[in-house]
Structure 1
Amino acid sequence: MLKLTIPVEPMWAVRMTGRGKYIKPNAQRYLAYKDQIKGLAKQQLKDRKLLTGALEVGILFTMPILKSWSNVKKQQAVGEYHTKKPDTDNLVKGVFDSLNKLVWQDDNQVAKVIAVKSYGEVTGMEIVIKELE
């Protein structure tokens, strides 16, 4: 089992055209986000070999609490499910793309995914990767 802690605010995957990734600000932000995940994961992986078999990946996305909410509402939100945009599948895509060729050969090895979005005071991601038999 491998556990990664990524203290970066989760971001959804952005659609990019070949040219768009060089000129669109959202695309630039997304590419920087993926690089940040890669860098933080590399520090935690050290010289670990790539996983080659079927995998199970669990990701807990801790989403930011809106600053405009009252203090009472903020306290009540901690640990509650996040049911707004961005969509969970778009968050997962960004993480999987970042971990390709770093943790596993390709994200098509992931046979089982468990993803949860919840509110928290500190944003980030907890990623647990298990090899399946």
Structure 2
Amino acid sequence: MNLGEWVDLSFLEDTIRLLDDDLLNVFGLEPVHVQFSLVFLFMMALMWVVKPVIEWMILNHWKSLSSYVASALLALVFLQLIDRYAMSDTTSTLPGYYWSICLLAISSYGLVYVGAKATRKAWMKFSKRNKRKVA
């Protein structure tokens, strides 16, 4: 059973071409930065889609963790699909840093997400405390 029989995977060729060194040198970009940005934005989009589904399915206090885990798993499956599509015989046509940059982007998004949530929670607690002191 071949996945290519079910789904047209030709759109992945355009994604892989985005990491071409010659094309990126025209714009003065490094392939590592472009790949990191694409995976980071992909995680952000997945969280935007997955979070409402998880909120609907689970209790409120588990929604952030479960939506991040589900989004990270979906991102890994998609990135694995790209990796398998880029295989020619036993070697990959993707650069050697592909997985390290992808995992760095996924974990960086997690850190930014948790940091933003913690900062928001601390700000809300701090502002409530200041409102009580003023009153």
TM-score normalised according to structure 1 size: 0.33
Greater relative contact order (Cα < 8 A, sep 6+): 1
Higher strand share: 1
Structure with higher Rg: it is 2
Higher helix share: 2
TM-score normalised according to structure 2 size: 0.32
